[in-house]
Amino acid sequence: MAKQRVLSGVQPTGNLHLGNYLGAIRNWVEGQSQFENFFCVVDLHAITAPHDPKTLAQDTYTIAALYLAAGIDLQYSTIFVQSHVPAHSELTWLLNCITPLNWLTDMIQFKEKSVRQGENVNTGLLDYPVLMAADILLYQADQVPVGEDQKQHLELTRDIAARFNHLFATPEAPVLKQPHPLIRPEGARVMSLTDGTRKMSKSDPSDQSRINLLDTPEQIQYKIKRCKTDPIRGLEFDNPDRPECHNLLTLYMVLSGKSREEVARECQDMGWGQFKPLLTEATIAALAPIQAKYQEIMSDRGYLESVLRTGREKAEAVANETLAQVKAALGYSKPL
Ligand code: TYM
């Protein structure tokens, strides 16, 4: 039986942080041998917020190298850059024309980001989830491994696929497959180091709020030393009045590979002064192999380029086939 297909992506905006790693990439790595995987660097999404043209290409390479450094294996997975496959933009346009406007204005991320971007809100920010739907639907993906914050965008993708099939296909021969979100509970929502009620985010102006995958051991130590805690002794999961405590224990659990019960027992009588060095050590140890591999990959630009070239060819073959089916269903004439 053919393997189920997976597609996911990360934006090349700034550095990747522990939320991106634990919510998404680590799960891609762990599940990859069971699936046929496509992982893209979503650089078209990256310009929906103000961006710096001088760093976009380099940031794109950085993310692709981090995919490899985190353990994406080319035996099972294809890595490519979204803008290298023009079908993503073309399908977005076609899907735009069947997506009701209020589906987009209702998106939580659009509402939040448009408040933050003030007068800089462009049409791309509103249309962002349709581009994401195109990314997924082009590959007829069965599963989409993401963090909790992308759940609503996945629901929208399913709705767009269903609407397209309803309008332009038959139930017996649907054109677009409805994908399922793959959200692992541990690490699906990593919270900020400065406020345990807000998610860790690339767009938080304070770098102290996140641990980046490429932070040095000194930076990691400094950030954990200064992170927000509470005055209570004895650490516990799931106390709604102690969001920072729950977040830091969860990070420790996932990064150290210990079970929840083990961590709960180990930390139940601890104070923060005793716990923070443990978390620091576990974080540094978990990131060290990724950082070493990253340096190795970045020192061989030719290799990275060849990975992305092969990735583009494989991705394009699948994407173009779906695009042709969509255009045929919509009644377009074939190019002569
Ligand atoms: P992006 O670049 O914001 O985030 C990439 C991935 O990291 C997850 N994530 C988190 N997980 C746990 N805790 C956090 N604090 C945290 N912050 C981010 C996100 O859920 C995501 O899985 N729209 C997407 C990118 C995208 C995409 C796609 C994803 C574009 N096309 C197609 C899947 C399929 C985004 O902005 O992710």
**Residue whose CA lies nearest to ligand 1 atom number 19:** 147
Q: What per-residue confidence (pLDDT) applies to 234?
A: 94
Distance 283 CA to ligand 1 centre (A): 21
Q: How many CB atoms lie within 10 A of CB 229?
A: 18
Report the C-alpha gap between 169 and 213 in whole angstroms: 44
**Residue whose CA lies nearest to ligand 1 atom number 36:** 11
Distance 56 CA to ligand 1 centre (A): 18
> Which residues' Cβ are closer than 6 Å to ligand 1?
7-11, 19-20, 23-24, 42, 45, 132, 135-136, 144, 146-147, 149-150, 153, 188-190, 199-200
Distance 229 CA to ligand 1 centre (A): 26
Out of 95, 149, 197, 203, mutate this one to test ligand 1's pocket (max ligand atoms within 8 Å of CB): namely: 149
Q: What is the dihedral of CA 218, 222, 225, 227, to 10 degrees?
A: -130
* Residue tagged active-site, from 202, 228, 293, 314: 202
| pTM listed for this prediction | 0.96
Please spell the DSSP secondary structure of 166-184, one letter per residue: HHHSBTTB-SSPPPEEE--
Binned average pLDDT, 10 residues per bin, the chain of 336 residues: 95 91 96 98 94 95 97 98 98 98 93 82 93 98 96 98 98 97 91 96 93 98 97 94 97 96 96 97 98 97 97 98 98 91
Please spell the DSSP secondary structure of 47-64, one letter per residue: GGS---HHHHHHHHHHHH
Distance 48 CA to ligand 1 centre (A): 14
Q: Whose CA is closest to 18, among 246, 275, 274, 247?
A: 247
Let me know: does 233 contact 219? Beta carbons within 8 Å: no
Query: Taking phi first (over 0 means left), then psi (-120 to 50 degrees means alpha), and beta for anything else, what does residue 182 get?
Result: beta
- Strand order through the sheet with 143-145: 77-81, 36-41, 5-10, 143-145, 180-182
- Which atom of ligand 1 is found nearest the CA of 153? 23
Q: What per-residue confidence (pLDDT) applies to 116?
A: 81
Amino acid at 102: N
Is 199 one of the annotated active-site residues of the chain?
Answer: yes
